[in-house]
Amino acid sequence: MIELPESKCLADQFLKVLKNKMVLNVIANQSPHKFAFFSGDPTEYHSRLAGKTITGSDSFGGMAELQIEDLKLVFFDGVNIRYHYAGDPVSQKNQMYIEFDDSTSITCAVQMYGGMLLIDKNEDNGFYKSSKYKIKPPQLEFNETYFDNLIKNSKQNLSAKAFLATEQRIPGLGNGVLQDILFNAKIHPRRKIETLSEKEKQNMYESVVQTISDMTANGGRDTEKDIFGVNGGYKTKLSAKTKDKSCPVCGNAIIREAYLGGNIYYCPGCQIYNKNS
């Protein structure tokens, strides 16, 4: 899944590899996927993009944006983007194929669910605007006061996972990034925010900022791939890669459980949970 660290990595690679290339051909929804989301009619993507040049890129929240003259192609959630050199074999099982004037291309394949939105400067897309303009790390405005207000303005019986990773409170902070944030803060994903001490809230805030910073600096998490199919350099402490392995701090086995429509990972020694809390 594209989350805050991965969106920055993707945007950087877009700028380095794709800038100044002209779009020759676009095939959208070639292999239909029930949970692949487009803006408008995907069959019109070719006519809207062909002949235009890649001018830049951007990242915000869990979105990576490819700027194509007056249009923006925005990727989010479970879109796996791969870059193909001229002559490379390209799988037909994708939800978007873009060929450039030097015979290179990118393909986008949706895993679970994901979106490829084609937006012009006059289009009012609320989901896009919320992700782009809402305050989030590493912006300086994402300070402890801002974070405390997020907590105060949320239902106090929310779990730590629900608070951090739902309702776009912090765009780009999803269930993947969440795991190490809570591990570093020593807070169980099921803990209700009303049970957190002021010190624990401070720890959570500091962990949000520092963990996301570390993940971004290392090119994303090792559970995700960049446009060349290379895993990120940040080694996750809690993920599918570490399930049942020993906690790096206390040695307890890392546990995986289903919770709130996804999996949570935690260390029972470092992240204490009382079911009554």
Average of per-residue pLDDT across 204-220: 97
Picking from 133, 158, 193, the residue at the C-terminal end of a domain is 133
Domain end: 104, 133, 162, which one? 133
> Is 252 inside a domain boundary?
yes
The number of helix segments (H) and strand segments (E) in the chain equals 7, 9
Q: What pLDDT shows up at residue 61?
A: 87
Q: Which residues pair with 183 in a beta bridge?
A: none
How many domains are contained in the chain? 2
3-state secondary structure of 80: strand
Same domain as 262, residue 150: yes
Enclosing domain of residue 203: 144-266
277: pLDDT strictly greater than 90:
no
pLDDT of residue 223: 97
Place of tokens 């001490």: 197
Q: Tell me, what's the pLDDT at 245?
A: 96
- Six-digit token string for 193: 């925010």
Q: Out of 31-40, 123-132, 159-168, pick the least confident.
A: 123-132
pLDDT in tens, 118-133: 998 776 677 788 788 8
Model pLDDT for residues 80-91, shown as the tens digit of each residue: 999 999 999 998
CA-CA-CA-CA torsion sign (164, 158, 175, 270):
positive
Is the same domain home to 90 and 190?
Answer: no
Beta strands in the chain (DSSP E): 23-28, 36-38, 54-60, 63-68, 71-84, 96-100, 105-120, 255-259, 262-266
> Do residues 171 and 231 share a domain?
yes
Please report the pLDDT score of residue 124 as a whole number: 65
Is 91 a member of any domain? yes
Q: Which residue type is seen at 169?
A: R
Has residue 275 been placed in a domain?
A: no
Model pLDDT, residue 72 = 95
**CATH at 59:** 3.20.190.10
Are both 15 and 95 inside the same structural domain?
Answer: yes
pLDDT above 90 for 276: no
My answer on whether 120 and 12 are in the same domain is yes
Return the biggest CA–CA distance within the chain. 61
